[in-house]
Amino acid sequence: MTTSANAPLSVQDFELLFDELKNWGRWGPDDELGTLNFLGPAEVIAACKLVTQGRRVPLSRRLDTSSGPDNQRPALHYMTRMAERAGSEPTFYMDFFGTDYHGKSVSHIDALCHVAYKGVLYNGRRGDETVNSTGSSFAPISALASGVAARGVLLDAPRARRVDWLEPPCALGSEDLGEIASALGVELRRGDVVLVRTGHVRRRQALGPWDPDLSSAGLASSSLRLLADCQVALLGGDGDNDAHPSPVPEIDHPVHILAMNAMGMCLLDNLDLEALSAACEEAGTFEFLLTVAPLIIPGGTGSPVNPIAIL
């Protein structure tokens, strides 16, 4: 298999694809879960049965407090209390952290209120009537308070293609994802969480940071057709899921728009899938139980998160 180009897509064809994928009203006018409706009790129970080793693999990047081309708003972390008090026991050490987590550095989950297209959120809600300075009244991250426990599938593109990483720019379409799944011996099912590894983290470790908005490997717009056909519940990747530069004129993040606005699919951005890649190769399987527990932030547009894969 060769590197896949992010083929140009006209705005008109993008609009047609948006309408093709649109799930507005599918689960009612007030639905805030979108494709997570595909993840029912039966799917959760089946996912739990995948655990055979009890091996846990964290999928979050470390919190990065250093500025760089891919971290223009570094996280803050500092101590707020040292053991300065004498007398009564115990003494306490305390710290603070803060992060503007949407971007290219922090592992996070996007809520469905995060992205508006033409001023409209998922399910046809107007952004200017839904989101204000206190947060969102529709589909905030707190709608996912019960978390996610699902069958996770790692589509490990570099391992399937026998390369260290996918060299940017590179975009994986539906056919590419199908070939990768076949090479790894997995199939996508209803209620899955699909994680796409491009080798972003490994490339950064080897070559240093770069601005992913200018060039990065990720998904092509056509990839959403396969995810829709398979009734995938949640999508994640080791970048921001979009391939850059965008193939659609004047649209920067077409995968974000198609997934979140049209389909109602939350996204996991900026994961570290390197340890999971090695663990899956060692275990001889690319399916596992995946848990995702966002912070319960009323009105929040997303949350930092550390998903855990359990093999």
Looking at the domain assignment, is residue 1 inside a domain?
no
Quick one: pLDDT at residue 245?
Answer: 96
What is the extent of the structural domain holding 248?
11-62+104-310
Q: Are strands 287-292 and 308-310 parallel, antiparallel or unpaired?
A: antiparallel
Looking at the domain assignment, is residue 2 inside a domain?
no
Q: Which residues contact 158 (CB under 8 A, 6 or more apart)?
A: 164, 165, 166, 197, 198, 199, 202, 277
Q: How far is CA 293 from CA 66, 76, 143, 200, 302, in A?
A: 26, 22, 12, 24, 11
Looking at the domain assignment, is residue 81 inside a domain?
no
Residue for token pair 């995946």: 290
Domain count, the chain: 1
Looking at the domain assignment, is residue 115 inside a domain?
yes
Looking at the domain assignment, is residue 156 inside a domain?
yes
The Cα 175–Cα 172 span in angstroms is 8
pLDDT tens for the chain, residues 1 to 311: 345 767 899 999 999 999 999 999 999 999 999 999 999 999 999 999 999 999 999 999 999 999 999 999 999 999 998 877 667 788 888 999 999 999 999 999 999 999 999 999 999 999 999 999 999 999 999 999 999 999 999 999 999 999 999 999 999 999 999 999 999 999 999 999 999 999 999 999 999 999 999 999 999 999 999 999 999 999 999 999 999 999 999 999 999 999 999 999 999 999 999 999 999 999 999 999 999 999 999 999 999 999 999 99
Cβ proximity of 138 and 178 under 8 Å: no
Looking at the domain assignment, is residue 111 inside a domain?
yes
DSSP 242-305: B-BS-SSTT-S-HHHIIIIIII---EEES---HHHHHHHHHHT-SEEEEEE-----TT-SEEE-
Looking at the domain assignment, is residue 171 inside a domain?
yes
Instruction: Give the predicted TM-score (pTM) of the model.
Output: 0.96
Quick one: pLDDT at residue 90?
Answer: 84
Please name the amino acid found at residue 180.
I
Half-sphere exposure of 83 (CA within 13 A, CB side): 6
Please name the amino acid found at residue 44.
V
Cβ proximity of 43 and 272 under 8 Å: no
**Residue 9: helix, strand or coil by DSSP?**
coil
Quick one: pLDDT at residue 84?
Answer: 72
Cβ proximity of 34 and 266 under 8 Å: yes
The Cα 248–Cα 121 span in angstroms is 20
Quick one: pLDDT at residue 86?
Answer: 64
| Each residue's pLDDT tens digit, 110-138 | 999 999 999 999 999 999 999 999 999 99
What is the Cα Rg of the chain in Å?
A: 20
What's the CATH number where 33 sits?
3.50.30.50
Looking at the domain assignment, is residue 74 inside a domain?
no
Quick one: pLDDT at residue 2?
Answer: 44
DSSP 115-169: --BTTB-GGG-BHHHHEETTEESSS-GGGGTT-EEEEEEEEEHHHHHTSSSPPSS
Q: How far is CA 261 from CA 32, 113, 213, 225, 271, in A?
A: 12, 9, 20, 14, 22
Tokens of 302: 């997303």
